[in-house]
Structure 1
Amino acid sequence: MKTRVILSLLFLLSLGSVRAADLFVEAESFSNKGGWKVDQQFMDLMGSPYLLAHGMGVPVDDASTEVTFPEKGEYYVYVRTYNWTSPWKKGEGPGKFSLSVGGKKMTSPLGAEGSAWMWQIAGKVSVKNLKTVIKLHDLTGFDGRCDAIYFTTEAGKMPPSDIKELEAFRRQALGLPDEAPVAGEYDLVVVGAGIAGMSAAVSAGRLGCKVALINDRPVVGGNNSSEIRVHLGGRIEEGTYKELGGLQKEFGPEKGGNAQPAEYYEDQKKMDWLAGEKNVSLFLNYRAIGVTKEGDKITSVVVKHIENGKELKFEAPLFSDCTGDGTIGYLAGADYRMGREGRDEYGESIAPEKADKLTMGSSVQWYSVDNKKSSPFPEFSYGVEFNDKNCEKVMMGEWTWETGMNFDQIKDFERIRDYGMLVVYSNWSYLKNRMKENDQYKNRKLGWVAYVAGKRESRRLMGDYILKEDDITKNVSHEDASFATTWSIDLHWQDPKNSEHFPGNEFKAVTKHILIHPYAVPYRCLYSRNVENLFMAGRNISVTHVALGTVRVMRTTGMMGEVVGMAASLCKKYDVTPRGVYRSHLEDLKTLMKEGVNKKGLPNNQRYNEGGILKDKPVVQ
Structure 2
Amino acid sequence: MKRIYLTLALLVGLALFTQAQNRVLVEAESFDNIGGWVIDQQSFDVLYSSYLMAHGMGRPVENATTTVDFSSAGEYHVWVRTKDWAPFPTGPGAFTLAINGAPLQTTFGVSGMAEWDWYYGGTVQMDAGENSLEVEDLTGFNGRFDAIYFSTDKDDAPTNDNEALLAFRKELLNLTDGPEDVGKFDLVVVGGGMAGTCAAISGARMGLKVALIQNRPVLGGNNSSEIRVHLMGRVDQNHYPKLGRIVRELDNGDPGNGNPDAARYGDERKLQIVRSEPNISLHLNTHVYEVEMEDNTIKAVIGRDIATNQEYRFEGVYFSDCTGDGTLGFLAGAEYRMGRESREQTGESLAPENPDDFTLGTSNLWASLEREAPSDFPETPWAIQFSDEYHIDDHKADWQWETGFGNFHTIYEAEQIRDHNLRAIYGNWSYLKNEKADKYSHHELAWVAYIGGKRESRRLMGDHVLTQMDIQDGIMYPDGSVTATWTIDLHFPDAKNSQYFKGEEFFAATKHIKVQPYTIPYRCLYSRNIDNLYMAGRNISTTHVAFGSTRVMRTCGMMGEAVGYAAFVARKNNASPREVYTMHLNEFMDIIESPVTIYNLPTLPQN
Q: TM-score, normalised by structure 2?
A: 0.93
Report the 3-state secondary structure (helix = DSSP H, G, I; strand = E; otherwise coil) of the residue aligned with 1:134: strand
Report the 3-state secondary structure (helix = DSSP H, G, I; strand = E; otherwise coil) of the residue aligned with 1:247: helix
Deviation (angstroms), 1:383: 5.6
- Show the counterpart of 1:69: 70
- Show the counterpart of 1:564: 563
Aligned: 1:45 with 2:43: no
Report the 3-state secondary structure (helix = DSSP H, G, I; strand = E; otherwise coil) of the residue aligned with 1:186: strand
- Show the counterpart of 1:222: 221
- Show the counterpart of 1:439: 438
Q: Tell me, in whole angstroms, the C-alpha distance in 2 between the residues paired with 1:393 and 1:70.
A: 58
- Which ranges of structure 1 fall in alignment gaps of 5 or more residues? 1-18, 600-621
Report the 3-state secondary structure (helix = DSSP H, G, I; strand = E; otherwise coil) of the residue aligned with 1:513: coil
Is the contact made by 2:386 and 2:431 (CA closer than 8 Å) also made in structure 1?
yes
Report the 3-state secondary structure (helix = DSSP H, G, I; strand = E; otherwise coil) of the residue aligned with 1:530: coil
- Show the counterpart of 1:173: 172
- Show the counterpart of 1:609: none
Q: Tell me, in whole angstroms, the C-alpha distance in 2 between the residues paired with 1:205 and 1:499.
A: 48
Report the 3-state secondary structure (helix = DSSP H, G, I; strand = E; otherwise coil) of the residue aligned with 1:155: coil
Deviation (angstroms), 1:29: 0.3
Q: Tell me, in whole angstroms, the C-alpha distance in 1 between the residues paired with 2:323 and 2:251.
A: 19
Amino acid at match of 1:24: L
Q: Tell me, in whole angstroms, the C-alpha distance in 1 between the residues paired with 2:66 and 2:577.
A: 47
Once the two structures are superposed, what CA deviation does each residue of 1:421-468 show, in whole Å capped at 9, x if it has no partner? 1110111111222x2x43111111111000000000000000000000
Amino acid at match of 1:101: I
Is the contact made by 2:206 and 2:597 (CA closer than 8 Å) also made in structure 1?
no
Deviation (angstroms), 1:388: 0.8
Q: Tell me, in whole angstroms, the C-alpha distance in 1 between the residues paired with 2:594 and 2:183.
A: 31
Count of residues in correspondence between the two structures: 576
Aligned: 1:455 with 2:458: no
Q: Tell me, in whole angstroms, the C-alpha distance in 1 between the residues paired with 2:38 and 2:597.
A: 36
Is the contact made by 1:232 and 1:256 (CA closer than 8 Å) also made in structure 2?
no
- Show the counterpart of 1:363: 363
- Show the counterpart of 2:11: none
Once the two structures are superposed, what CA deviation does each residue of 1:19-69 show, in whole Å capped at 9, x if it has no partner? 961211001001111000000000121231000100000000011111101
Aligned: 1:92 with 2:94: no
Q: Tell me, in whole angstroms, the C-alpha distance in 2 between the residues paired with 1:350 and 1:484.
A: 22
Aligned: 1:139 with 2:138: yes
Which deviates more, 512-521 or 103-112?
Answer: 103-112
Q: Tell me, in whole angstroms, the C-alpha distance in 2 between the residues paired with 1:355 and 1:128.
A: 61
Aligned: 1:160 with 2:150: no
Once the two structures are superposed, what CA deviation does each residue of 1:310-353 show, in whole Å capped at 9, x if it has no partner? 11111111000000000000000000000011112111111111
- Show the counterpart of 1:393: 393
- Which ranges of structure 2 fall in alignment gaps of 5 or more residues? 1-19, 599-607
Report the 3-state secondary structure (helix = DSSP H, G, I; strand = E; otherwise coil) of the residue aligned with 1:234: coil
- Show the counterpart of 1:78: 79
Report the 3-state secondary structure (helix = DSSP H, G, I; strand = E; otherwise coil) of the residue aligned with 2:581: helix
Amino acid at match of 2:22: A
Moved over 2 A (4+): none
- Show the counterpart of 1:525: 524
Alignment of 1:19-418 (within 5 A): 21-86=22-87, 89=88, 91-113=89-111, 114-260=113-259, 261-382=261-382, 384-406=384-406, 407-418=408-419
Deviation (angstroms), 1:177: 2.6
Seen in structure 2, the aligned counterparts of structure 1 residues 220 and 383 have a Cα distance that, compared at 3 Å, is: closer
Q: Tell me, in whole angstroms, the C-alpha distance in 2 between the residues paired with 1:231 and 1:456.
A: 13
Q: Tell me, in whole angstroms, the C-alpha distance in 2 between the residues paired with 1:395 and 1:256.
A: 16
Is the contact made by 2:63 and 2:134 (CA closer than 8 Å) also made in structure 1?
yes
Which deviates more, 377-386 or 274-283?
Answer: 377-386
Amino acid at match of 1:270: K
Report the 3-state secondary structure (helix = DSSP H, G, I; strand = E; otherwise coil) of the residue aligned with 1:316: strand
Q: Tell me, in whole angstroms, the C-alpha distance in 1 between the residues paired with 2:250 and 2:345.
A: 40
Q: Tell me, in whole angstroms, the C-alpha distance in 2 between the residues paired with 1:124 and 1:431.
A: 45
Once the two structures are superposed, what CA deviation does each residue of 1:91-125 show, in whole Å capped at 9, x if it has no partner? 21110111111101012311111220000112221
Report the 3-state secondary structure (helix = DSSP H, G, I; strand = E; otherwise coil) of the residue aligned with 1:490: coil
Deviation (angstroms), 1:598: 5.5
Q: TM-score, normalised by structure 1?
A: 0.91
- Show the counterpart of 2:4: none
Report the 3-state secondary structure (helix = DSSP H, G, I; strand = E; otherwise coil) of the residue aligned with 2:33: coil
Once superposed, what is the RMSD of the aligned Cα atoms?
1.2
Is the contact made by 1:466 and 1:542 (CA closer than 8 Å) also made in structure 2?
yes
Amino acid at match of 1:61: E
Over alpha carbons, which structure has the higher Rg? 1
Which deviates more, 191-200 or 369-378?
Answer: 369-378
Aligned: 1:574 with 2:577: no
Q: Tell me, in whole angstroms, the C-alpha distance in 2 between the residues paired with 1:190 and 1:226.
A: 21
